[in-house]
């Protein structure tokens, strides 16, 4: 298993490895070996997702296609800031990070590990010099999987964080078909602090829908987990422009020799 993972990381293929029947002891050993080889794999990125209860280990190798979604998120934040939607207080109270590792999940997900592509982590404490235990919003981008697997990914973030993770964004690309067409979907799962996670809102990006969707948005109440600092209006929302997401994804899909489905 370890050598298959290292080979995928170094070559960038396949973009997704899934191993069943991996117990905590076995995963811990693989994780330690990967850390020891980190210097040898410098410049190669990968994401670890371990589901302790199901004994499933996923290794995701981000491609340029997957990374473009993070670029869209960053552009969304820049545009919202330029338009005055994101206030100056954001810079001192929110940390946006790429792929930090979380292994402090609770309950049925105890012992599990996850790395999102982008996480939004509020700064807390009287002087905002500490980080919240969990991110409040996460983005995962990668190869398409079953609806059950996507639901379980979102559940780990939300149920495993005791609803600390309010919003899970999932961008999933399907393998190119015989006509080189790539299908692309985007999902938004919101946690209900009073009643658990909810079914995700599903957006078909490619092929484009006959009737355009209303853009989803994320409120500052969600970004800050219900504890907005002074100067932040919890009702204000940052809109996620799906048309711009489609535009960015189409550029990258064509760059890689395919076409949007």
Lowest mean pLDDT segment, chosen from 32-41, 105-114, 142-151: 32-41
The enclosing H or E element of 113 equals: strand 113-115
Lowest mean pLDDT segment, chosen from 12-16, 53-57, 72-76, 117-121: 12-16
Tell whether the model's pLDDT for residue 196 goes beyond 70. no
Asked whether the beta carbons of 172 and 150 are under 8 A apart, the reply is: yes
Query: What's the CA gap between 235 and 232, in Å, rounded?
Result: 9
Query: What's the CA gap between 65 and 167, in Å, rounded?
Result: 22
Q: What is the pLDDT of residues 202-255, one digit of tens each?
A: 999 999 999 999 999 999 999 999 999 999 999 999 999 999 999 999 999 999
Residue tagged 């997704």 (tokens): 16
Q: How many angstroms separate the Cα of 40 from the Cα of each of 4, 35, 67, 117?
A: 15, 10, 22, 22
Asked whether the beta carbons of 239 and 217 are under 8 A apart, the reply is: yes
Query: What's the CA gap between 17 and 49, in Å, rounded?
Result: 10
Mean local confidence (pLDDT), 117-130:
95
Res 143: pLDDT: 86
Query: What's the CA gap between 127 and 93, in Å, rounded?
Result: 9
Q: What is the pLDDT of residues 171-191, one digit of tens each?
A: 999 999 999 999 999 999 998
Percent of the chain with pLDDT over 90: 79
Query: What's the CA gap between 131 and 121, in Å, rounded?
Result: 7
Report the residue count for the chain.
261
Tell whether the model's pLDDT for residue 195 goes beyond 70. no
Res 42: pLDDT: 66
DSSP string, 57-88: EEEE---HHHHHHHHHHHHHHHHHHHTTSS-T
């Amino acid at each position: 298993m370890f050598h298959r993972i290292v080979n995928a990381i170094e070559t960038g293929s396949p973009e997704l490895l899934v191993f069943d029947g991996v117990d905590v002891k076995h995963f811990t050993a693989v994780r330690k070996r990967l850390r020891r080889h980190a210097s040898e794999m410098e410049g190669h990125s990968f994401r670890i997702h371990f589901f302790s209860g199901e004994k499933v280990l996923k290794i995701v190798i981000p491609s340029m296609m997957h990374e473009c979604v993070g670029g869209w998120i960053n552009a969304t934040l820049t545009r919202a800031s330029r338009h005055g939607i994101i206030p100056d207080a954001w810079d001192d109270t929110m940390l946006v990070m790429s792929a930090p590792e979380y292994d402090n999940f609770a309950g049925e997900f105890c012992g599990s590990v996850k790395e999102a592509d982008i996480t939004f982590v509020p700064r807390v404490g009287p002087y905002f010099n500490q980080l919240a235990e969990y991110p409040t919003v996460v983005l995962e981008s990668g190869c398409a999987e079953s609806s059950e697997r996507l639901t379980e990914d979102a559940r780990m973030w939300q149920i495993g964080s005791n609803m600390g993770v309010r919003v899970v964004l999932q961008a999933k690309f399907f393998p190119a078909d015989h006509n080189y067409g790539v299908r692309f979907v985007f999902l938004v799962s919101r946690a209900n602090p009073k009643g658990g996670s909810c079914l995700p809102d599903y957006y078909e990006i490619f092929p484009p829908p006959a009737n355009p969707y209303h853009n989803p948005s994320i409120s500052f109440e969600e970004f800050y987990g219900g504890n907005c600092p002074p100067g932040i209006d919890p009702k204000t929302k940052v809109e996620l422009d799906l048309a711009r997401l489609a535009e960015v994804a189409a550029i990258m899909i064509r760059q890689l020799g395919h076409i949007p489905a």
